[in-house]
Amino acid sequence: MEKIVTKNEKETQALGYELGSQLKGGEVLALCGDLGAGKTKFLQGLAKGLGIKGRVNSPTFNILKLYKINGNKNVKSFCHIDAYRLHSEKDLISLGVEEFFKDNKTVTAIEWAGKVKKIWPKDIISIELVHVGENSREIRVK
């Protein structure tokens, strides 16, 4: 497990960037942490690291957003899920997420992943963000 404390949103984004640029495709990331913990900030950096040029925001209202990636050798799409408003795993399954989980050219990231724990793949990468101060967050990756 890796444990890092960031002191501002830029550092959190930089950490996301670093992870994003290392992903090969097929990974599923579970982001856990309270409102404002920095899940979306982390994923904005991660998306940049994957080669996405445009802006990434929380897909709270539409649950799932799919980004196409050009120019990355392996990863062709990024599936961004926000489980905050979901009542059950079934809602995600009906959106076809299990196909994204299995696709080795897709990276999937789930905000509020604790809400859909039942459908976590075995080898999910867990990223926990904890408020430790106004502008500091402890980020644990395992």
Q: How far is the CB of 40 from ligand ADP (least distance, A)?
A: 3
User: Which residue, 105 or 125, is less far from ligand ADP as judged by CB?
Assistant: 125
Binding span for Mg ion by CB under 5 A among 15-23, 54-62, 94-102, 131-139:
54-62
Contact track, ligand ADP, 14-53, x by CB under 6 A: -------------------x-xxxxxxx------------
Instruction: Please tell me what DSSP assigns to residue 7.
Output: S
3-state SS, residue 130:
strand
Question: What CA–CA distance (Å, rounded) separates 63 from 65?
Answer: 7
**Per the structure block, which two tokens stand in for 27?**
């990974």
Binding-site partner at residue 138 among ligand ADP, Mg ion, none, CB < 5 to 8 Å by type: none
Question: What CA–CA distance (Å, rounded) separates 119 from 90?
Answer: 9
Question: What CA–CA distance (Å, rounded) separates 125 from 116?
Answer: 14
Binders of ligand ADP among 116-135, rule CB under 6 A?
135
User: Which residue, 37 or 81, is less far from ligand ADP as judged by CB?
Assistant: 37
Question: What CA–CA distance (Å, rounded) separates 43 from 45?
Answer: 5
Binding-site partner at residue 72 among ligand ADP, Mg ion, none, CB < 5 to 8 Å by type: none
Rounded to 5°, angle at Cα 100 from 104 and 77: 70
List of residues contacting Mg ion (CB under 5 A): 39-40, 58, 111
